Chain A
Amino acid sequence: MRVMDAKPKLNLPPPFDEAMHRHEREIMRFVLRASGNREDALDLFQETWLRAYRAYGQLDSAEGLRPWLFRIASNLCLNRKRDRARRARVIADTELREEHAGAILPMHESALHLKSMLRRLPNKQRQALVMRKLGGLEYGEIAVALGCSEEAARAGVYLALKKLKAE
């Protein structure tokens, strides 16, 4: 074996756990500042690292690590804000529609109930249900909006309805 004169120049990012150890504090600070509350911050923090882990093999240089992590975190924060805004609109819509149906149920109670039930649904299912039943979208369109397959969109609506009916 010849003498190894130079270290291999693969320039790979560090092992994932080391990357996490190095950058977790600043990522936590970032998501906490962006979201302004601890539940969201915890969520965003975990989601950031899960996504980073899944895509870690595609990151091809050690220097790119930090900006890459921040891009994931900030994209997630933006998505979350957008979802919040959308959800607020949907809930307002829901309340309006419930007013029409007020003859059957006392309005405030049913609206509040639906609102809280909707909130408890997983994100994908809630979005799918809202788009289908309140937005009147086709399953194909929902699939595109949520970035999933048409079958998954269909299943999301079905599962959401099932859960709502069960309550």
Chain B
Amino acid sequence: MQEKREIYFEDGAEIPDDMIDELLREAHTGLARVLNRIRRPLARIAVIDSSIGDLLAAQSTRGLVALRFMDSEDATLLLAALRRRFDVVEDDAVAVEIGSEIERLMRGDTNAISARAVDLSLVESDFQRRALTRLRRVPAGSVISYRGLAVALGMPSGQRAIGNSVASNPVPIYVPCHRVIRSDGSLGNYGGGPERKLKLLRAEGFGVDSQRRVPPEAVYGHWRSRIFCRPTCSAVRQAERRQWLIFADPERAKRFGMRACKLCHPA
């Protein structure tokens, strides 16, 4: 057993600076190695002052990892979850980057948010990750029902589970949970409040009628066959209209690469 070199200090006796320096050097060699083994990934965060309200945004090296309206109840919970998973650094550049994309979206530029990668590492379950990944493919200017998204994921009666998955979406706007509405054609709820859902949908070119329901000129696009129909078409009734992607008008359905139904001639 190696004998310890004892150093005793009387109360108040000075510890020389160079002794501290030497100890620090020695301590850091081992410490750095262990720390590097347990380091969490980095996330840059900032508060964005946007036209639809203050947003907390977090960007990891893989993409946008979290976005939350500061006035929502779970904003602090989300921040805590972020800080458990990541080494968080405040960085105003994030506010500028993400903020300008959101402003462009609010002015109607639907391509503004499509280029940014999304990091779903705050998502706990595989099912939720699948649901959100699928949801990303719902294009701007269209909406889908909870039921429809459940069908698209291959579990036709999973609309409740979808509802939960979408409600706890860590990256709203970029993972467009505002594009999920209720099967009866009403808007349904939104994490940032229904008003914001409406604003986002309008900015993307999906207007609702005065009752805040899907407008009469909307067309129903079938995801698989790439055909879109009027809501009254027999094909829609047969395949159940809840399972379809709803476009604000025929133009947008075409832009998404769909063709008009030959039975009901929606275009």
- A interface list, Cβ under 8 A from B: 1-2, 4-5, 7-10, 12, 15-16, 24-25, 28-29, 32-33, 36-42, 45-46, 49-50, 53-54, 56-58, 116, 119-120
**Across the two chains, which residue of chain A brings its CB closest to B94?**
A8
- B interface list, Cβ under 8 A from A: 1, 4-9, 15, 19-20, 23-24, 26-27, 30-31, 34-35, 38, 45-47, 49-51, 56, 79-80, 83-84, 87-90, 92, 95-96, 99-100, 103
Q: Pick from A1, A32, A57, A58: contact of B7, CB below 8 A.
A: A32
Inter-chain contact A24/B24, CB cutoff 8 Å: yes
Alpha-carbon distance between A42 and B34 when the two chains are bound, in angstroms: 14
Inter-chain contact A2/B49, CB cutoff 8 Å: yes
| Contacts beyond the supplied A4-B92, A36-B8, A50-B38: 14 A-B pairs with Cβ under 8 Å | A1-B50, A1-B96, A1-B103, A5-B49, A8-B90, A10-B56, A25-B20, A28-B24, A37-B4, A37-B6, A38-B5, A38-B7, A46-B34, A58-B80
Report chain B residues within 8 Å CB of A33.
9, 15
Inter-chain contact A53/B20, CB cutoff 8 Å: no
Report chain B residues within 8 Å CB of A16.
87
Q: Pick from B6, B31, B79: contact of A49, CB below 8 A.
A: B31
Inter-chain contact B80/A57, CB cutoff 8 Å: yes
Q: Pick from A32, A54, A119: contact of B23, CB below 8 A.
A: A32
User: Within the complex, what minimum Cβ distance (angstroms) separates A31 from chain B?
Assistant: 9
User: Within the complex, what minimum Cβ distance (angstroms) separates A106 from chain B?
Assistant: 20
Report chain A residues within 8 Å CB of B8.
36
Q: Which of A1, A41, A49, A119 has the most CB of B within 10 A?
A: A1
Inter-chain contact A39/B24, CB cutoff 8 Å: no
Report chain A residues within 8 Å CB of B84.
57
Alpha-carbon distance between A46 and B23 when the two chains are bound, in angstroms: 11
Inter-chain contact A42/B90, CB cutoff 8 Å: no
Inter-chain contact A28/B49, CB cutoff 8 Å: no
Inter-chain contact B90/A32, CB cutoff 8 Å: no
